[in-house]
Amino acid sequence: MCGINGIFAYNVAASLPDCEELIATRDAMLWRGPDGFGEWWSEDRRVGFGHRRLAIVDLTERGSQPMISADNRYSVTFNGEIYNYRELRAELERDGAVFRSNSDTEVLLLLYAREGEAMLSRLRGMFAFAIWDCLSQQLFLARDPYGIKPLYIANDGWTFRFASQVKALLAGGRISRTPEPAGHVGFHIWGSVPEPFTLYRDIRMLPAGHSQLIDSFGPRPSRSFASIAQAFAEGSRNPEAGADLIGVVRTAMLESVRAHLMADVDVGLFLSSGVDSAALLGLMRDAGQERTTCVTLAFEEFRGTKDDETILAAEVAAAYGARHIVRTVSAAEFHDELPHILEAMDQPSIDGINTWFVAKATREAGLKVALSGLGGDELLAGYSSFREIPRWVRLLRPQMQVPSLGRLVRKGLSASGLARRNPKLPGIAEYGGRFAGAYLLRRGLHLPFELGAVMDPDIARIGLARLDPLRRIFPLGPAPENPLSHVGALESMNYMRNQLLRDSDWAGMAHSIEIRTPLVDFTLLKALAPVVPRLTNAGDGKRLLGAAPRTPLPDSLVNRSKTGFSVPIGEWLTQRTNDTGSVRGLASRAWACEVFQAFASDEQRVPRMSGAKAA
């Protein structure tokens, strides 16, 4: 796990890249890689790579980057892990390849030398990397199917730049900070900035599951090599017909966990009281890791309530023989850490606080790597959205056949008292009859027609036109036929990709912690997508996951009400503002305002919300 960056002056009339810019961008990512750093330049100095290293695989200097092939043709800077690199290495060695290190980076480099872009379908892992081919004079970029690892790009028509962080690119000093209205609108709608946008017009994210080639003519259009929606759609068309669903899930999950334990350092676990992380602990033991260090967060505000994770987490840790660390976080610590949190947050997000503190506690425990249960709800229909969204679509789809009826109903309801009690209610008639619209209702922080009240109306209008939220929710392509599979694709490509995974990256890296997600794995998705249509009852997926370890989870944990992996941010914000409004209603919108103030320039700032408005 690392921080990567690079510059390619592809236009013959472009000035040679500045070494100081490359170093400034690289070293703005210090905590992504405190164990080492490097730089590389092509002979003509038109291409430069930077790298910050967090040593996880091959801890020796032989694993350092940027890495150059033995024949000096290829150079690579790589962020992530290739979990099947040992199998790929053995295959390459059988074909005569000679390795100089024990790293997955060198496997990536030699596999590209042999297969080029075709190698992407063979990689199991989380990755963002750049490879320079000095013979063809081409730069090749790629990002993993789920988008676990970020890769931001910028092109000014002369020079192409990339890095693992938006703030790192800005630190280089050569990229305009002109705002991107679509990014600002996206944050106000979702509480995160949807890819490929950022807050800045000149910085984009390479889409997940895509590669891109840059040569002397500039960047070519990016190409998709893996699709989450397509994987769900194929599973929907070919549902699992066998009776042994537990066996299917157990086999696929154990394989994924075993792959994600690949490391030359100890691998810990973020343990909540939920099924996902508890099942991972059992599967880690089944995979051969006899003693695992688990970290659980505790909050005084949750003591004695259903949100207290510690009691059930302790029982699970004891059942599987794990070392269990309970780390208490106070309101005072939150306020002390807040400036550091906002500084580390690469793009604005209303989430990530939980990950920040559990990653901090994990680092305090002396670990570099931890597994997370993130992704179980999206994969195995764990959210209430899997039931709500299909029901809304089924009930409201008929009125979508009448042009503009939904918008007229929405405008009528907006003038009623009902809208003041529930701002989303008017939008049900307009959006609820199709999957993308119903998903917007379910996950949206604000709906498009609300934006004029929370941000500059002109920016809202321009941003909505550039973002096109409904199309962005589900890009062009066949949707899964099964409703549960459809929602799984929506949750995976939106909430999980743009918020949960991105938050895991910046919050974990801020503490030099590599967060691995065995439930967010494209190989696992292809194995379990055919199971999703069989999850006809609420909780079916979690029951299958709970039964996956050799020693299954107790029914008391599997069947308890879902609480999530939460922090009492509503209470903490209320304590600071002395607001008497609804704590739960305050949390997301007031925190969104707090975050946006930290990112917005003076002319973009909006008035801080009162408690009443936020609620």
Dump pLDDT digits (tens) for 351-405: 899 999 999 999 999 999 999 999 999 999 999 999 999 999 998 888 766 666 6
- Read off the pLDDT band of 106 (50, 70, 90): very high
Q: Kindly report whether the global pTM for this prediction surpasses the value 0.85.
A: yes
- In one-letter notation, the amino acid at residue 230 is Q
Q: Which long-range contacts (CB under 8 A, 24 or more apart) does 195-202 make?
A: 195/147, 195/497, 195/498, 197/467, 198/152, 198/166, 198/347, 199/166, 199/347, 199/348, 199/599, 200/166, 200/170, 200/175, 200/176, 201/176, 202/154, 202/155, 202/156, 202/175, 202/176, 202/178
**Residue scoring higher pLDDT (577 or 264):** 264
CB atoms within 10 A of CB 234: 16
pLDDT at 603 over 60: no
- Among the ranges given (105-109, 387-391, 416-420), the one the predictor scored with the smallest mean pLDDT: 416-420
Find out whether 74 and 112 touch, Cβ atoms under 8 Å: yes
Q: Residue 523: which residues within 8 A CB-CB, separation 6 or more? A: 124, 255, 256, 259
pLDDT for the residue numbered 29: 97
- In whole angstroms, give the CA distance from residue 254 to residue 548: 8
> End-to-end CA distance of the chain, in Å?
39
The whole-number average pLDDT for the span 494-511 is 97
* DSSP strand pairing (138-143 vs 125-133): antiparallel
User: Tens of pLDDT along 282-297?
Assistant: 999 999 998 999 999 9
pLDDT at 584 over 50: no
Instruction: Kindly report the backbone phi and psi dihedral angles of residue 47, in degrees, each rounded to the nearest multiple of 5, phi listed first.
Output: -130, 130
Which token pair is 129? 């990397």
User: Tens of pLDDT along 466-485?
Assistant: 999 999 998 767 889 999 99
**Residue scoring higher pLDDT (419 or 302):** 302
- Among the ranges given (79-93, 473-487, 540-554, 563-577), the one the predictor scored with the smallest mean pLDDT: 563-577
Find out whether 514 and 408 touch, Cβ atoms under 8 Å: no
Find out whether 609 and 593 touch, Cβ atoms under 8 Å: yes
- Read off the pLDDT band of 608 (50, 70, 90): very low
pLDDT for the residue numbered 597: 78
Find out whether 154 and 169 touch, Cβ atoms under 8 Å: yes
- Residue 192 β-bridge partners: 349
pLDDT for the residue numbered 121: 96
Which token pair is 403? 């042009």
- Read off the pLDDT band of 594 (50, 70, 90): confident
DSSP 191: S
Q: What is the mean pLDDT of the chain?
A: 90
- Residue 131 β-bridge partners: 76, 140
Active-site annotation, residues: 2
Find out whether 211 and 141 touch, Cβ atoms under 8 Å: yes
Which token pair is 172? 């280089």
- In whole angstroms, give the CA distance from residue 320 to residue 307: 22
Find out whether 150 and 428 touch, Cβ atoms under 8 Å: no
Q: Residue 38: which residues within 8 A CB-CB, separation 6 or more? A: 50, 51, 53, 64, 65, 66
